[in-house]
Amino acid sequence: MRIGVFVCHCGSNIEGTVDTAEVSRIASDYPEVAFATDTMYACSEPGQDGIIEAIGEHKLDGVVVASCTPRMHEATFRNTLERAGLNPYMFEMANIREHVSWIGKDREANTNKAADLVRMAVEKLRRNRPLTPKEFDINRRVLVIGGGVAGIQAALDCADAGLEVIMVERESTIGGKMAKLDKTFPTVDCSSCILGPRMVEVAQHPNITLHAYSEVDGVSGYVGNFSVKIKKKARYVDWNKCTGCGECVEKCPSRKAPNTFDELIGPGRAINIPFPQAIPKKATINADYCIRLTKGKCGACEKVCPAGAIDFDQQDEIISEEVGAVVAATGYDLFDWTVYEEYGGGRYPDVITSLQYERLLSASGPTGGHVKRPSDGKEPKNVVFIQCVGSRDKSVDRPYCSGFCCMYTAKQAILTKDHIPDSTSYVFYMDIRAPGKLYDEFTRRAMEEYGAQYIRGRVGMVYPDGKGNLTVRGADTLLGKQVEIQADLVVLAVGVESAKNSPQLAEKLRISYDKYGFFMEGHPKLKPCETNTAGVYLAGACQGPKDIPASVAQGSAAASKVIGLFSKKKLKSDPQTALVDIKRCIGCGKCVLTCPFGAIKETDFRGQPKAEVIETVCQGCGICSSTCPQGAIQLRHFTDNQILAEVEAICRF
């Protein structure tokens, strides 16, 4: 074998702390290395052309590139090899940037380590064999998890492109957080007026099947061929019969049920339709609060329902769907604001969250759009907004900025003035973050035209003043003094955290999530809506805090990725699969039992039971290889011999 080694400078990223010329000099002495050089940017066009040229000139049949992580550029260089007429799998990478130059400054030690890593790659490459991908069919249906604005956008874009879409929404209506908003910044247009038609489109689109009040129970399979189990939670109402007339809600005597759509500030009923524009507009019974289901009495809804839709015997139902791609758009949840005891959230009724305030402002909210404070229904004159409640605060483990709280606070200050012209809004802020289009202008308008009083500083304490109002005591760091404000209502601009159970969903989808539970994108800059699992895409705030425009943009981006994926006639499988050595296999069947994908089946070979790998199903994990008592099943590209060769390359005396 004739191996070429290319040691990349990556500008000063590698060259700064690794002597790349020395590494390539050392590498030229490694076995079977016919050519070694250092190069400025191996991944650039001249860099790749240089590799192609060297392959031709030195008759190379294998290439090692020592540069960045293979998670970044392995595919790039495999392409380069293909263009040069080599098999793309005759390629190995040594990661001398993330794992060497960026984690230490000792040039000698780094050079030494880089040379070791190159040696490992060379030893592995010497044992590589050319591989060819197989083709397999795609199921051209897509699952969208989450019916918020990002999921709706992704679903509609896919459906308009002619794809069949299955949408799963955990609540009884789609619309997500946006449906709860009164107005949106910076245009102050009515949220449900722009979202409502999109929701209706989802309901009416012939290509979209909506499963509301449902959850993804399990996902198996792989890109192009996922099978998904969806749990349709018992709603105790036959949705095929329910017309959404709302008679049952009127008559329901159980009034203690939480009204989650109104963020718990409105009256709740055990049987409930979230809001007038709900899609689907169907009633759902909350089993924990229904008197009939808990105590066996009542049944008022059953008596009044003109459609006879109430069904107290309904059970959770599991259905299966086959799809080829998945878009996760599960959104976000609010930070638990009661953690900040000094603000009195949860203790004083007139300390509310921004989303609760949004419901107070909304015409479809519990007060019909009249701002009334929860304690006595009085119209507040002084409203104090406290920003960064659960964002940019290490002490509550939320060091990240939630991104849109500055903007919605400005919007709410403006709306407050619109609703109550003789009111004053005070905003305690840390910094104003308004980087979007027309955003800064918008916050300025809140201050200049609407007279919102912005006070830079943190609030130390909120306490009742004994006369039915609240006193907000905080610092004004620009004036350098303490301020006290008498407030009728305190609104906490609560930060964003990942949706409940997102780690569990990530585990089902086999995608990564960060320490806060947000799903990880394939690359923070260049793959913002892909994940590291082929065929699973992200949209909206499940990936990180995002406002509506960003969520919609990512929804469309995810849809375009799905459409791109499905535009191919067939998909190519990764050929780094397991291979059975039929002579060694004793047919014990352990690999069949351990394979998580069911990619190994037992076959009969001249009367003997043997294992056989279904190549298009095999995902290349190699669990079978380390299970086989005979060493008869080997993962191509990661064979025992290759890994041991790497071990040996490091451990030589």
Partner 1 sequence: MPVLNGRELRIVGFLCNWCSYGGADTAGVARFDQPTDLRIIRVPCSGRIDPLFIAKAFMNGADGVLVSGCHPRDCHYSEGNYYARRRLEVFKQFITVLGIEPERFEYTWVSASEGQRWQEVVTKFTDQVHALGPMAPIPEVALSKLAQTEGTDLRTAITEEA
Where do contacts with partner 1 occur on this chain (CB under 8 A)?
A: 26, 69-71, 95, 97-100, 102-106, 108-110, 112-113, 115-117, 119-120, 220, 503, 506-507, 510, 512-515, 520, 532-533, 576, 590, 594, 596-597, 619-623, 625-629, 635, 638, 640, 643-644, 646-648, 650-653
Residue 29's nearest CA partner among 119, 120, 127, 108 is 119
CA distances from 213 to 219, 232, 283 (A): 18, 6, 11
Give whichever of 304 and 623 is closer to partner 1, judged by the CB atom: 623
Q: What is the smallest separation between the CB atom of 518 and partner 1, expressed in angstroms?
A: 9
Give whichever of 481 and 515 is closer to partner 1, judged by the CB atom: 515
Give whichever of 8 and 355 is closer to partner 1, judged by the CB atom: 8
Give whichever of 80 and 95 is closer to partner 1, judged by the CB atom: 95
Q: What is the smallest separation between the CB atom of 652 and partner 1, expressed in angstroms?
A: 8
Q: What is the smallest separation between the CB atom of 246 and partner 1, expressed in angstroms?
A: 42
Give whichever of 203 and 650 is closer to partner 1, judged by the CB atom: 650
Q: Would you state the structure tokens that stand for residue 159, as one six-digit string?
A: 């459906």
The residue ranges of DSSP E strands in 513-618, in sequence order, are: 536-538, 571-572, 578-580, 600-605, 608-613
Q: Three-state SS for 24? A: helix
Q: What is the smallest separation between the CB atom of 595 and partner 1, expressed in angstroms?
A: 9
Q: What is the smallest separation between the CB atom of 29 and partner 1, expressed in angstroms?
A: 11
Between CA 229 and CA 233, with CA 230 as vertex, the angle to 5 degrees is: 140
Q: What is the smallest separation between the CB atom of 569 and partner 1, expressed in angstroms?
A: 27
d(CA 356, CA 192): 16
For residue 280, cis peptide bond before it (omega within 30 degrees of 0): yes
d(CA 419, CA 326): 43
Give whichever of 101 and 353 is closer to partner 1, judged by the CB atom: 101
67 touches 43 (CB < 8 A): yes
Sequence length of the chain is 653
Give whichever of 69 and 294 is closer to partner 1, judged by the CB atom: 69
Q: What is the smallest separation between the CB atom of 131 and partner 1, expressed in angstroms?
A: 14
Q: Three-state SS for 5? A: strand
- HSE-up (13 A, CA, CB side) for residue 242: 24
Residue with tokens 């016919």: 34
Sheet holding 536-538, edge to edge: 208-211, 164-168, 141-145, 325-328, 536-538
Give whichever of 369 and 620 is closer to partner 1, judged by the CB atom: 620
CA distances from 495 to 8, 145, 307, 340, 389 (A): 43, 23, 43, 12, 6
d(CA 518, CA 498): 5
Q: What is the smallest separation between the CB atom of 596 and partner 1, expressed in angstroms?
A: 4
Kindly give, in sequence order, each residue whose CB lies less than 8 Å from that of residue 507, ignoring residues fewer than 6 positions away.
none
Give whichever of 467 and 652 is closer to partner 1, judged by the CB atom: 652
Q: What is the smallest separation between the CB atom of 117 and partner 1, expressed in angstroms?
A: 6
